[in-house]
Each structure stands twice: as structure tokens, then as C-alpha cells.
Structure 1
Amino acid sequence: MSRTATVLVLVCVPVLVAQSAYAERGKHGSNGQTEQRADTGDDGTVSVTVGGVVFDRSKNGSGGSVGAVTSSTSWSPPACWYAPKYTPKELQETLEPIWEAESTGYEWDAEQREKYNAKDEEKGFNKDKTGKGYWWDSYVDKSYPPGWDECDEDPFWVDTGDAPPADIENAVTPEVLAELAYAEIRVPGTEVTLAPADATKVNLPTWAWLNGAEFKPVSVTASVEAIAIEATATAEPVSLQIKPGTPDAETYPASGVCEITDGRIGAPYEKGKADSTPPCGVKYLRSSGDGTFPLQATVTWAIHWTGTGGAGGDLPDGAFGATQDVVVQEIQAINR
């Protein structure tokens, strides 16, 4: 039988956008539902509610050029997860219209009515436990990455204070929240400042650095108020890797990886240091001719997390990079 679901997106104002999801597997209309709401507190705190999780972005990266880090390994944050979604009354109000419409077939509806004890007006949908727990259900990353359709459990009940069933993967815990916060981290762009600025010369050491004021730790806190858990994922810059865009070049240091020291990434060029070796930079061995070389600068961010109950640990390093065009000219000699 065909079973459909709907993704609901709510951003700042009550605007609902419906998208097809779980077309073959949604066991009821809400499976796979993702909600999004943005709020700004009186203190300027920016929080966004996505998939039953509140993300505090007030300490996230900001500015005109920011982006999401990419894991340095094959690991990726959860594509779907389970979190508290319904009170008993809310689940009843969600499911009964679907059953009445017979959109999922008589047999399926009958099974569901029995499962949730729908005929019992006092205890159906766990109404006798109102205020003592929640029905949990699945949420999906709005970008639908690989694995988004793997959370296919029916809504399940969890008493307040109890952990979700151990056999259900990606039910929110502090660690899962940390992984979801990882996906929300935004870091500054990585266009480096070069000296010489407009065009460099063949065999001339070119200094490279990043604005140290922008490259500081950033963090996102994810929380689920209904069960009083939270986790904060923090990203700290650790190194800058430079790839000149041509094999005919040398980097400083030779590895092309500039370690971050004293909160600085590289060092600004100062007058009188033209013959000095830059702590971070590049020397091109040939001209770029009528074109340019695509210099790529990538910052690696070490990411760790802390959470409710003293939990915490490391998450995979993340990287964010950008490419910029560099003009390299021949040094003009004058013959006398």
C-alpha cells in the first residue's frame, strides 16, 4: 500500500511548506516531519528550532563570508533522528484524521488504532500519562543527505526521566545533539591576505595571513527542553593549508601547513622584511602569464563537545576552504 508523509517547515512566521517525504515508508502523515522556527531573544541570542531541537547560534561564526565545515573523515552528522514530538492529545489529533480519511488502508488503520489503544477514551494514546512523558517520532535533515530515510520506527512512548529504548539508533542523547550541532557550525571564509597584494613576482616570497580577530573558537548549543538535555559543539582553528595552484611553487613551511600560534594564522608583512622567510606563504617559480594561479587556502578546525551530565569528547576535525586567483609576474630587468 502507498504511505505518504509530509515535511513541515516554519520559519519566523507561520508559513507552512509541504514537501513529499517517506513516500513509500511513512507510517502516518507526520513521519519525517521537520519543523524550523527562528527566534531572537532580548539579549540578542539567536536560536532556531529544527526537528524538535533548539540550536543556539549566538556564538556561531558570523560575517559576510561563512560556511559549514566538512568532516575530514567519512563521518557525517545524523541524517535523521528521534526526539519528543507529541503529547498524547497531539498524537491523537495527528493520527485520527488520517485514519478517518482511510488514506493508508483499512487494515493498516485498524492495526494502528489497536496499537495506540485509540478506542479507550481515558487511556488511549497514553492520555492517562499526560504530563509524564512524550511520544517520540522521527525528524529528517532538511537537505535529505544519504540515510535520511532510515528512521522508520513508529512513534514510541518515553516516560519523563527515562532514556529512550537502547535499540533505537539516533534517539537524541547529549552525544547525538552534539553531532547535530556539528552540522550547524559556521566558520569564517578563508581568503588569505597576501603581500605583495595586487600581484606577486617570480621567486619572491609572498606572505600570507588571515585576520586573527575573525579566527577564534565558535560554538553551537543544541538542546531539547522537553527532556532537559543539551550539548555544545565547539570548533577551534588549528592550522591553515596553502595549495599554490601550480606545481611550480614552494610553500612556507615546506608542508604548506601553517600552524596557528598565539591565536594568529600566519603573520602580516612588515616593511623591511622583503628578504625574510615568511612563517606562512608561497614562492612562485614561474609567471602566471596572461592568467592567474588558483591558490587554495583551507583552515582545519578541531571540534569537541560537552553536554548534560558532564558528557563530552571529540568529534572529527572539520575543514573550510576557499580559492582565490593570484597574478604572478616576471621581474623585469633593465639592461644598460
Structure 2
Amino acid sequence: MSVIGSRTLIASALVGSMLWTATPALADKEIGGGAETPNGASGNVDGDTLSAGVGRIVYDRSKNGSGGSVGAVSPTTTWTPPACWYAPKYTPAQLQAYMEPIWEAGSTGDQWDAEQREKYVNGGEYKDFNKEKTGKGYFWDSYVNESYPPGWDKCTKAPFWVDTGDAPPPGIENAITPEMLAQLAYAEIRVPGTAVKLAPEGTTKVNLPTWAWLDGADFKPVSVTASIPAIGLQATTTAEPVSLKIEPGTGDAQTYPASGECAIGNDGRIGEPYAKGKADETPPCGVRYLRSSGDGSYKLQATVTWKISWTGTGVNDPQDLPPGEFGADQDVIVQEIQSINR
């Protein structure tokens, strides 16, 4: 990292601390580099408020999973969302309000302060913080993904100007894009818990097929939209359930199908509910335990795989993101007593 980049980070931390202390109401809204909104609602951040940043991400979670058992999906690969990105952050007046306390504090050194004054005030790159262009664009700066640290040292470029409607200057890595918004929305996805329905329920018998299923009403697509209203950029990330994996919790068991992977049906249901008279049939999704659990129980692991895709500004055809998984354990008692489940 360059000396200038290091000093920029120190200065940013200094002023960020000052703003956090001065505006606690707004600080409460700043989570994961984006604007927190009430559960299931969309929201905005005041673009004229310095601590908010005009390019902060707004999340609409109204179509997300809800309820006490929901959780975040875990990518099936080592993929993670962006650590940081560049987006609109300051009007000319806001950048002045940001920079001048840094210079006045004198904590970054006279040389650095002089270089920054030359750049932003004296016309080295911008004259008087580019105030002649007020209302015609924004200074872009970095935002850090606080949910996936470390990210503070990944974007070190000083604030730069972008006219409204223009793309960032060439060579700016990590400038925000619809795909990056989709990746950030991925981390906000919440899906329902995976406690499967079993028949027999809770207690089953050795060598007796146990049926397993999930209702389609509980497992339907969910989505989160991330947007930056200031530049009209948005992306919607959608998660759709595709399969259920059953792991019996012991090697002394047989799964149905043999792979343990139960695909979702056309009706949105995974597996099939048990009905009276099916005791002699093989369940389309389930397990048969070959040995008693003794005085304890087996931990049956049920994991749903979700297909993740996105659409957004300029992208109408769904684009794939890494699949995600979410699962949970449940106790199954297996007894030696033989019986017929009718």
C-alpha cells in the first residue's frame, strides 16, 4: 500500500469515528456497508447527510424469507461477496465537510494535507471541491463490506468525481456494478428452516421405511433487491429450492433415493407425505434405519440446496451465482420393536 493510501485510510477512520459519535441515529442504520431497513421493507438514506453517503445500498427484503427459523444460505463454493466497492458518496459540500476536519486535526502530516488541498481546493485536479458541478454528479469513494472483513485495505483510492450518467474513469477496480449489488444481496437472503416432516414422526422402527417431505408452501423462491437510487442501479438476487439432502446420522441406514438427494417436485413439494396404506411402498424421499438408536437418538441432518440467480440494471436474463445450502438437525429415535405403519 502506498504512503498516501495508508494516510487516506487513517484519515477516513478518524473522521468516520467523529461522525459515528456525532450522529448515533444514522449510525444505527449502517450495517454491512448498506442502509438497514425494517424487516421486509424497503428504505432510503438521506442523501444530504454526510455520514450516510449518497451511494449507500438500500435493501428491499419484502420478498425475503421470514419467521423464527430462517437463516442465511452458505455458498457451496469458497465464493464470498465483494470486500469493498466504490460508489457515490459526497456532494462537493459534503466532501469539503469531510476533508477539512482532517486537515485541521493535523494528524496526517503537513505534506499530505498540502497535497490534498492542492488536489481538491487549488485546482490540481478539482477547484474548490468541484462546487461548480454541484447537482451534476458526485465524488465517489470506497465502502467496506463490514459483514465480510477484512476489507478496509482493499479499496484505497482517494475520492474521485463522476458526472451523473457517466461511468467511472477507466482503470477503477471495484466500481459498483449490478453484479456486485447482486452479490451483496446474496448475503441478505434468508431461507426457511429445514425441519422435515417424518412418518413415523419422532420415533421409528428398525427396517421400517420412514417417509420424509417438505411442504411446497414453506419452500418457495425468496429474493432481495439491492439498489443505489442516486445512480439508478439495482439488482435482485433470487433463491429457489431445488433439492433436499437427507443424512441419517449413522452409517447403519439406507436413504431413499440411494444418493440421499430428494428433488423438488412440480408442485413445489420435496418428497411425498405418507398416507395410510403405503406401509409396503418405498418412499420417494426418506430413510430406513438398520439398527436401533439404543437409549439415545440419531441426528438426522436435512439440508436444502438453493439455486441462486440475479437480474438487474441492463441484465434481464437470470445470471447464476453459486448455489447455497441451509440445513438443520433433528432427533430420530429408532426402536427394535417391529411394527407396520398403516
CA distance in 2, matches of 1:252, 1:141: 42
Moved more, 294-303 or 141-150: 141-150
Alignment partner, residue 180 of structure 2: 176
Of 192, 197, 204, the residue aligned with 2:208 is 204
Alignment partner, residue 27 of structure 1: none
Alignment partner, residue 305 of structure 1: 310
CA distance in 2, matches of 1:80, 1:59: 26
The CA deviation at 1:114 is: 1.3
The CA deviation at 1:9 is: 7.0
Q: In the alignment, is residue 314 of structure 1 matched against residue 320 of structure 2?
A: yes
Aligned Cα RMSD in Å?
2.7
Q: In the alignment, is residue 45 of structure 1 matched against residue 51 of structure 2?
A: no
Q: Deviations over 1:4-36 (max 9, x none)?
A: 5137779xx81537x9xxxxxxxxxxxx99463
Structure 2-normalised TM-score?
0.84
Q: Deviations over 1:270-315 (max 9, x none)?
A: 1111121111111111111111111111111111111112355111
Q: Deviations over 1:111-139 (max 9, x none)?
A: 1111212589x931111111111111111
CA distance in 1, matches of 2:314, 2:173: 20
Residues 259-274 of structure 1 aligned to structure 2 (within 5 Å): 259-262=263-266, 263-274=268-279
Of 6, 13, 16, the residue aligned with 2:27 is 16
Alignment partner, residue 135 of structure 1: 139
Structure 1-normalised TM-score?
0.86
Q: Secondary structure at the match of 1:145?
A: coil
CA distance in 1, matches of 2:195, 2:20: 34
Alignment partner, residue 285 of structure 1: 290
Asked if the contact 2:35–2:59 (Cα under 8 Å) also holds between the matched residues in 1, the reply is: no
Q: In the alignment, is residue 257 of structure 1 matched against residue 264 of structure 2?
A: no
The CA deviation at 1:145 is: 2.8
CA distance in 1, matches of 2:41, 2:294: 50
Change (3 A) 1:319 1:199: same
> What 5-or-longer segments of structure 2 have no aligned partner?
1-5, 46-51
Residues 1-336 of structure 1 aligned to structure 2 (within 5 Å): 3=10, 5=13, 6=16, 14=25, 16=27, 34=33, 36-39=35-38, 45-47=41-43, 52-117=56-121, 123-262=127-266, 263-311=268-316, 312-331=318-337
Structure ranking higher in strand proportion: 1
CA distance in 2, matches of 1:147, 1:264: 40
The CA deviation at 1:170 is: 2.2
Q: Secondary structure at the match of 1:74?
A: coil
The CA deviation at 1:147 is: 4.2
Asked if the contact 1:9–1:34 (Cα under 8 Å) also holds between the matched residues in 2, the reply is: no
Q: Deviations over 1:66-91 (max 9, x none)?
A: 11111111111112112111111001
Alignment partner, residue 3 of structure 2: none
Identity among equivalent pairs (%): 67
Change (3 A) 1:97 1:9: closer
> What 5-or-longer segments of structure 1 have no aligned partner?
20-31
